[in-house]
Structure 1
Amino acid sequence: MCQLLGLNSSVPAGLGSFFDVFAERGGRTDEHKDGWGIAFHSGKRCRLYTDHRAAIDSPLAARIRHRPLRARNILAHIRKATQGRIALENSHPFARRLWGLTWCFAHNGDLKGFAPAAGRFAPRGDTDSEAAFCHLLSRLAERFPAGAPDTAVLRAALADVAAEIATHGTFNFILSNGDTLFAHCSTHLHYRIDAGRAMIATQPVDTRQGWVAFAPGELKAFGSGTLYP
């Protein structure tokens, strides 16, 4: 399956050498060679870059490694396809607009028999991941038609919908609205908080101590580089 890497920071920051380690897993040190992508997300501004090629073979990945960008939230993904073609439209992260905000999403897992009813948001590709993202946002739009609720209420609603989707299989994901980064674990997800930065990864991207494993079924929210209580 795919791998995830996320950053939530109190100030704009970059992934630095963490991105190098992560990108190497995209076809050289691991098997995730079916596309990759990264989103740099601060407030209403979101810069999204995706490629259907393996990260180790991608000129775009090479440019980002040599000229890193900074943001308060970063979501990166390397893909090992389980559902959907190897194509640009199936490369994560995906992005949509809701409540005047851009939402970015990346998924690791495999959802079997997941065929939600049509909602406000529709997939452009043919992955279970994008279908889950669109269903997640559609359910939020239905539940909160007047606009975005506060973070605690939103986190509870996301946990409800994530639990529903996870009945179809593995549903590890990271999701950003430009301020808060939400992370949900079905099987494998870790986080570390250090000096105003929260890192989230499928598997730790360095050997330093401090990485904490999520419990299966857990959804956490990170803001300004800290963990919401």
Structure 2
Amino acid sequence: MCQLLGMNCNVPTDICFSFSGFQARGGGTDVHSDGWGIAFFEGKGTRLFLDPQPSATSPVAELVRHYPIRSKNVIAHIRKATQGAVGLENTHPFMRELWGRYWIFAHNGNLLDFAPPLDGSFIPVGLTDSERAFCWLLQELRHRFGGQAPERTDLFDALHQLTLEVTQHGEFNFLLSNGDCLFAHASTKLSHIVRQAPFARAHLKDQDVTVDFSDVTSPNDRVAVIATLPLTDNETWTDMPPGTLWWFEEGAAVKTLPTRPGPIKKPA
């Protein structure tokens, strides 16, 4: 399966530290060697880097690792192919326009017998179940709300209902953002951490790299990092219970809803 990395902040922040650890998992410290990608929102614009090579050895990944692009919302993905050949067209994250904004989506999992009707407004370019699910989600959101973006509470509720439908077909961990906020679905495995004052030192699991966040942040900064598996070994990450959909905004968890029966933890 693939691995996901997301960042949601209250001020534009670079992801160089987290990406250094994440990059190593793409064919270095883990087996996810079928491509990688990362998207940064900057206002209404989006920088999207994709490469079908393993991220651990990708020259493009090295560029991103040392390029302090500052963004309030970032989504990254390293791929272990299940559906669709290894190739640029099947490399996550995927991008589409809806309501005059770019939307970015990345998925970890495997959806079986998922072939929903598509009306032509959003069509997959590649052959992955992930891109097909993304196109269907945006299509159904447009059907529900027409040509005008809804309030975020209504958007989150609609996304929750749609996620319930897709999860019937299998594992559906995903990250989704339009640059204003970030939605994360923990179908089986996701964790997150919110870094805020007082900031401390952090050490990566996959690289011998340490950073003292008190040296590179201001007291009002707040950064939420979401990953398939925790990226550091000296911080306390919060496991996101399987079967939960999360809404992050301004570096904090705003709301969560269950996507399967059972109790869930409320955001701190």
Report the AA paired with residue 221 of structure 1: W
CA positional deviation for 1:217: 1.9
Which of structure 1's runs of 4+ aligned residues deviate more than 6 A? none
In the alignment, is residue 203 of structure 1 matched against residue 229 of structure 2? Answer: yes
Could you say which residue in structure 2 is the equivalent of 1:5? 5
CA positional deviation for 1:68: 2.8
CA positional deviation for 1:66: 1.9
Could you say which residue in structure 2 is the equivalent of 1:47? 47
CA distance in 1, matches of 2:97, 2:175: 16
CA positional deviation for 1:16: 2.4
Deviations, residues 41-69 of structure 1 (Å, cap 9, x unaligned): 13311110100100012110011112231
Task: Report sequence identity in percent.
Answer: 50
1:85-104 aligned at under 5 Å gives the runs 85-104=85-104
In the alignment, is residue 121 of structure 1 matched against residue 122 of structure 2? Answer: yes
CA RMSD of aligned residues (A): 1.0
CA distance in 2, matches of 1:141, 1:118: 12
CA distance in 2, matches of 1:49, 1:146: 29
Could you say which residue in structure 1 is the equivalent of 2:180? 179
CA distance in 1, matches of 2:232, 2:57: 23
Deviations, residues 142-196 of structure 1 (Å, cap 9, x unaligned): 0000411111111111011111011100000000101100001110011111121
CA distance in 2, matches of 1:183, 1:215: 12
CA distance in 2, matches of 1:67, 1:47: 12
CA contact (8 A) 1:2 1:108 kept: yes
- Corresponding residue SS for 1:157: helix
Q: Which structure 1 residue ranges, 5 or more long, are not aligned?
A: none
Report the AA paired with residue 162 of structure 2: V
Could you say which residue in structure 1 is the equivalent of 2:155? 154
CA contact (8 A) 1:50 1:92 kept: yes
CA contact (8 A) 2:12 2:72 kept: yes
Could you say which residue in structure 1 is the equivalent of 2:266? none
Deviations, residues 118-150 of structure 1 (Å, cap 9, x unaligned): 132110000000000000100000000041111
| TM-score w.r.t. length of structure 2 | 0.83
CA contact (8 A) 2:16 2:66 kept: no
CA contact (8 A) 2:16 2:64 kept: no
Report the AA paired with residue 233 of structure 2: T
CA contact (8 A) 1:43 1:177 kept: no
Deviations, residues 69-122 of structure 1 (Å, cap 9, x unaligned): 111101010000000010001110000000011000000000011111013211
CA contact (8 A) 2:111 2:170 kept: yes
Could you say which residue in structure 1 is the equivalent of 2:82? 82
Could you say which residue in structure 2 is the equivalent of 1:217? 243
CA distance in 2, matches of 1:152, 1:146: 17
In the alignment, is residue 136 of structure 1 matched against residue 162 of structure 2? Answer: no
CA distance in 2, matches of 1:5, 1:186: 15
| Structure of greater Rg | 2
CA distance in 2, matches of 1:208, 1:46: 32
